[in-house]
Copies of this chain bind each other. A is one copy, B any other.
């Protein structure tokens, strides 16, 4: 008889947690039970899973007794505190926060790109940052075929990446603006970054800050894209620079990406052909029919959409493209559940 799993979702009441539950409902993972965990505040709340109502329980170390797989998405500090507790109790953790991503002992996995890294896990697997994941899905087939020397990315990120309260804040600001309020009268308590000192409205705005500022005046979000790319692609030489920007979109991150490949035989057509075959990619690239990826069309889809592929006008090995994916799904919940499916398929749902 096939092994079935007891799965826990940590942060079940959050924007990503809700999507994790959805992804588990249709997952190929053989699930025995699902346990929903959250902070004390959400204890007792009821959420549906496959037409059954499950009661949210308060997260404590012993929540993980009997759990095989724990999906974490409740913030870095929760992961730092509780992921080791889960592992101690025999659960494999797939962590959607930045807590362990750069830990050399922790695989950082996009299944389409580096599933084999899972073999070296010691109980915790990190899910990359949303903006990194979709870029990896789109670029890794190109890297494999032609080598990748350089990436410059500017992001157009949705507010759901900042959680449910940020979604609510944006909607309220927009309603206020539509009702004639002035920008200076808007309420902003969360964006651009809940933990930072100042907050700005996102309604009818574009905020070039996601997460706090860090070294060299890049934001932490931008550093994530740089460092995680190098780790996932196992290439410390690849040049990566990012500008991460929040825009008034609810769901679906878009990215304007410039790459330079190593092999000058690459053409727009050959890259399109590659991406047509690439796992997790949907090519939407027909300018004559105005076909290109759009955030609004990516909502609730698992794939990464790539289009507007065109040659740089001056640099022979340079190409530009537009990459879109649902940040809550491939960028978070789906990639996490996909990792769990990979762990199952590879027989790796065990703590070494």
- Spell out A's residues near B (CB within 8 Å): 150, 152, 154, 156, 171, 174-175, 178, 183, 192, 196-198, 200-201, 203-209, 213, 216-218, 226, 239-241, 243, 245, 247-252, 254, 256, 258, 268, 287-290, 292-297, 299, 307-315, 318, 320, 322
C-alpha spacing A295/B175, complex, angstroms: 18
> Chain B residue with minimal CB distance to A310?
B217
A184 → chain B closest CB, angstroms:
9
C-alpha spacing A258/B192, complex, angstroms: 23
A176 → chain B closest CB, angstroms:
11
In the complex, what residues of B have CB within 8 A of residue A295's CB?
A: 204-206
Q: Are B204 and A248 in contact (CB under 8 A)?
A: yes
> Chain B residue with minimal CB distance to A253?
B206
Q: Are A174 and B183 in contact (CB under 8 A)?
A: no
| With A213-B287, A226-B313: A249-B205 Cβ-Cβ less than 8 Å | yes
| With A201-B296, A206-B254: A308-B243 Cβ-Cβ less than 8 Å | yes
In the complex, what residues of B have CB within 8 A of residue A292's CB?
A: 208-209
A273 → chain B closest CB, angstroms:
16
Q: Are A183 and B296 in contact (CB under 8 A)?
A: yes
Main secondary structure of the interface of A (DSSP, over half): mixed
C-alpha spacing A206/B251, complex, angstroms: 11
| With A150-B314, A216-B310: A296-B205 Cβ-Cβ less than 8 Å | yes
In the complex, what residues of B have CB within 8 A of residue A247's CB?
A: 156, 206, 247-249
In the complex, what residues of B have CB within 8 A of residue A154's CB?
A: 154, 243, 256
> Chain B residue with minimal CB distance to A175?
B178
C-alpha spacing A206/B330, complex, angstroms: 18
C-alpha spacing A287/B221, complex, angstroms: 14
> Chain B residue with minimal CB distance to A255?
B154
Question: Closest 10 CB pairs between A and B?
Answer: A239-B314, A154-B256, A154-B154, A213-B287, A205-B296, A243-B256, A217-B310, A198-B290, A206-B254, A208-B322
